[in-house]
Amino acid sequence: MTQVNNVERKIFQFLTLILAIICFVPGGASTFGGMNGSAALSGGEMIFNADSILRGFADNQYRFGFGVFLTQGIALLFFLRNIEQNGTVFRFVILALFIGGLGRLSNIIEFGLIDSRVVAPTIIELIIVPLLALWHGRIINNK
């Protein structure tokens, strides 16, 4: 492996580690703190109070979804142990993140841009994440 390829590989691994952290932080806060935990993490006010009838169901579904997001971060760390052999794991995580981005985009199309804080994650999921998949292919084919 040439010095350039090694540097490129390290940069790729670093950016994948950042993506794993992005999955961990909101994933953990929202899995174990629910919608209110997520709101607190972003500096917002509580979404539900104890009397809200939607809190039990919506918060339950929300926690499940973010549990999956947290697990994607764990899978990305597993992938980083050996990026050649664990490429399938990486591709499934990338696919899940991309499909999640499509869900965000469909929300924006249906309801409009309600909160500007969803723009960055949507861009990451629909543009950056697929580019990481292409980059991974380049790295393992040029070793």
Q: What is the pLDDT of residues 123-143, one digit of tens each?
A: 999 999 999 999 999 998 886
Q: Considering the domain boundaries, does residue 101 fall inside one?
A: yes
Q: Are the beta carbons of 133 and 119 closer than 8 angstroms?
A: no
For all residues of the chain together, what is the average pLDDT? 88
| Greatest C-alpha distance within the chain | 61
Q: Considering the domain boundaries, does residue 14 fall inside one?
A: yes
Q: At what angle do helices 87-111 and 54-81 cross, to 10 degrees?
A: 150
Q: Considering the domain boundaries, does residue 119 fall inside one?
A: yes
Structure tokens at 143: 């070793």
Q: Quote the pLDDT of residue 44.
A: 66
Q: What Cα–Cα distance (Å) separates residue 62 from each residue in 27, 117, 143?
A: 10, 17, 41
More confident residue, 139 or 39: 139
Q: What is the DSSP letter of 138?
A: H
Q: Considering the domain boundaries, does residue 87 fall inside one?
A: yes
% the chain with pLDDT above 70:
85
Q: Considering the domain boundaries, does residue 62 fall inside one?
A: no
Confidence label for 43 from pLDDT (cuts 50, 70 and 90): low
Confidence label for 115 from pLDDT (cuts 50, 70 and 90): confident
Helices (H) and strands (E) in the chain, counts: 5, 0
Q: How far, in Å, CA of 65 to CA of 56, rounded?
A: 14
State which residues form the domain around 14.
3-26+67-141
To 5 degrees, how large is the angle CA 80–CA 117–CA 126? 50
Q: Considering the domain boundaries, does residue 50 fall inside one?
A: no
Q: Considering the domain boundaries, does residue 8 fall inside one?
A: yes
Number of domains in the chain: 1
Q: Considering the domain boundaries, does residue 108 fall inside one?
A: yes
More confident residue, 32 or 125: 125
Please tell me whether residue 47 adopts helix, strand or coil conformation: coil
pTM of the complete model: 0.84
